Every structure is written in C-alpha cells, then in structure tokens.
Amino acid sequence: DPFFGVGSDILSPRKIGSPLAENVELGAQCFATMQTPSENFLISCGNWENSFQVISLSDGRMVQSIRQHKDVVSCVAVTADGSILATGSYDTTVMVREVLRVRSPEKRAPRKDCIIAETPFHILCGHDDIITCLYVSVELDIVISGSKDGTCVFHTLRDGRYVRSLKHPSGSALSKLAASQHGRIVLYADGDLSLNLYSINGKHLASSESYGRLNCVELSGCGEFLVCAGDQGQVVVRSMNALEVVKRYNGVGKVITSLTVTPEECFLAGTKDGNLLVYSIENPQRKAIVLRNPRTRVMIPS
C-alpha cells in the first residue's frame, strides 16, 4: 500500500520533563524507550537538577524521577530486554539499575509507580571527563561507556568488574558508540569525524571517515550493518565487517537529528525542521515524509 498517513487520533504535541541544564548536549543519547508488561516508558535526562525521569508514553505523565548522580545526567541506555538501565553523568560515573517492572505495594507509601530501582547496584568509574555515550547488554555481560576524555571503558554487567579501556586513535572525545550482539563496537568522534571499529576483545579492526558530522549511529536488527545520519541529510549504511559503505539514501537536504531502525528493517529519520522520513531497504527511494501537522496525509506513488 503506497499510502502513508497520520490520522486525527494522533496525540497532540506536548512538553514533557523538567527544564534542561545549561549547555547540556541534548541528543539521542539523552533518551531511551523501555517496555514493561503493562506500559511503555520514555527515559530522559539532561535535567538541571541532576535527575533522570521515567515518563509514560501513553499520557505523558512523569512516573518517576531519580536523582543520585552528583552532576547532570548526560546519557542513558537500556538493555535489549528492558531489564537494566544505565546512566552516565558529568560527574564521570556510570550507575546501573534494575528495572523492577512492578507497582509499589499500597501499604508502603501513597506514591507513584516504582518502575526503576532507586539505588544502583553498580557505580562504575574509570573516566576523567563527562560520560557521553553508553551501551549495556545482558547477553554479552558488558557495560561500555565512552567519554570526552577520549576513552571507552568496559565493565562486566554482572559484577561490575573492570575489563579494559580503549583510547581513541587521535585522542578525540568520543561522541557516540554502537555495539552489536556479535561483539563488534563502533566509536564515533565529532572531533575528527572518524568511525573506528573494534572487537569486544579490544582489537582495532577498521577505521573510516564519516564525511560530515553524525547525529545518529544505529545498528540494523541483525547487527551486520551500521546506519548513520547527520548534518549532510543522508542515511548511510555501512558494513560492520570493515565499515565500508553499502548504500546511501538521499534525504531532502535537511539535517537529520534522530534515527531508528524498525524490526522490519525500515529507517525512520527525524529532521531538524520537524519532518519524518521513512525509508525501505528494499526500495532505495524515500517512501514518505510525514510533516509536523498531525493531520497531514501524504500520497506516495506506487
């Protein structure tokens, strides 16, 4: 069906969360989604009071606010199964918490739902500057953190044990990281616009220029491809074997600020001016643009 539309039943835009901290670097690293048996939630950070917040995606209400870092929370990450949440901070530490998935007993306190454990079961150290990106995996038993100090530090998830550190080849601050279930890790740095591929054992496998600032670095569902987008307005697909470019998808000349890969292996890309681009891997042509107006409908030729 070539028709894409957004019906009138779509919720109207609304503001969520508390005011952001001054000079916070807001991006995809500040948000994560989390599913529980009863509801879906958005995790957001970057708030001025050093908290991160759990927000219901059904009605936009703030369900929980946790403040234990000593400075602004700069990034969040959730495991694929939604059981563990990790937060990184300007205080250079990473805190790892359990997702409880249950409501607080009525007899304890007249409080909101408790979705995430207030107290972390690990506080991980090893960086000398702001934590900029995170990855956490139950399957790999790993927590990976990247920092402005140019290092990437590995800890075990189960017992919080330090494993190893990687240093960016040119010492640039790390901006983003992505890791696959096959044990491949990609580090990206805005400083030199480079992508570097490593094995989970710390071996450097490949490097490549990004040819433009990247705002989004995501993996395909199979973990074999890296999907990148940024200021150039293109979606670029690279192999996770050697970072070679497999495909380029031209956009509409707008900066892409957010990106996700759906289970059906489609790309949803959000632009700086509020448009949503929808791509299909089978068809290299842009399939749809959904404008900010929630009643807008777009016809796409067959």
Looking at the predicted structure, is the pLDDT value of residue 273 above 90?
A: no
Number of domains forming the structure of the chain: 1
What does the block give as tokens for 75? 């990034």
In a domain? residue 127 = yes
* pLDDT tens figures, 141-154: 999 999 999 999 99
In a domain? residue 50 = yes
What does the block give as tokens for 251? 């956009």
Q: What pLDDT score was predicted for residue 132?
A: 96
Q: Cα-flanking dihedrals φ and ψ of residue 233, to 5°? A: 80, 10
In a domain? residue 155 = yes
Q: What pLDDT score was predicted for residue 159?
A: 96
In a domain? residue 287 = no
CATH of the domain at 100: 2.130.10.10
Give CA 78 to chain center in angstroms: 9
The band of 7, judged by pLDDT with boundaries at 50, 70 and 90, is very low
Edge-to-edge strands, sheet with 162-167: 131-137, 142-147, 151-155, 162-167
In a domain? residue 28 = yes
Looking at the predicted structure, is the pLDDT value of residue 293 above 50?
A: no
Q: Is the CB of residue 280 less than 8 Å from the CB of residue 274?
A: no
Looking at the predicted structure, is the pLDDT value of residue 17 above 80?
A: no
In a domain? residue 13 = no
- Residues with Cβ within 8 Å of 106's Cβ and at least 6 positions away in sequence, in order, are none
In a domain? residue 240 = no
Range of the domain at 113: 19-167
Q: What pLDDT score was predicted for residue 13?
A: 59
CA angle, 185 then 126 then 241, to 5°: 10
- What is the three-state SS of 181-209? CCCEEEEEECCCCEEEEEECCCCEEEEEE
* pLDDT tens figures, 221-258: 888 999 999 999 889 999 999 999 999 988 777 899 99
DSSP state for residue 165 in the 8-state scheme: E
Tell me the HSE value of 69 on the side-chain side, using a 13 A CA sphere: 33
In a domain? residue 41 = yes
Looking at the predicted structure, is the pLDDT value of residue 265 above 90?
A: no
Torsion of CA 49, 37, 156, 30, to 10 degrees: -30
Dihedral of CA 118/102/44/172: which sign?
positive
Query: Bridge-partner residues for 5, per DSSP?
Result: 297
Which comes out higher in pLDDT, residue 210 or 105? 210
CA angle, 297 then 301 then 302, to 5°: 125
Give CA 224 to chain center in angstroms: 18
Calculate the average pLDDT of the chain. 84
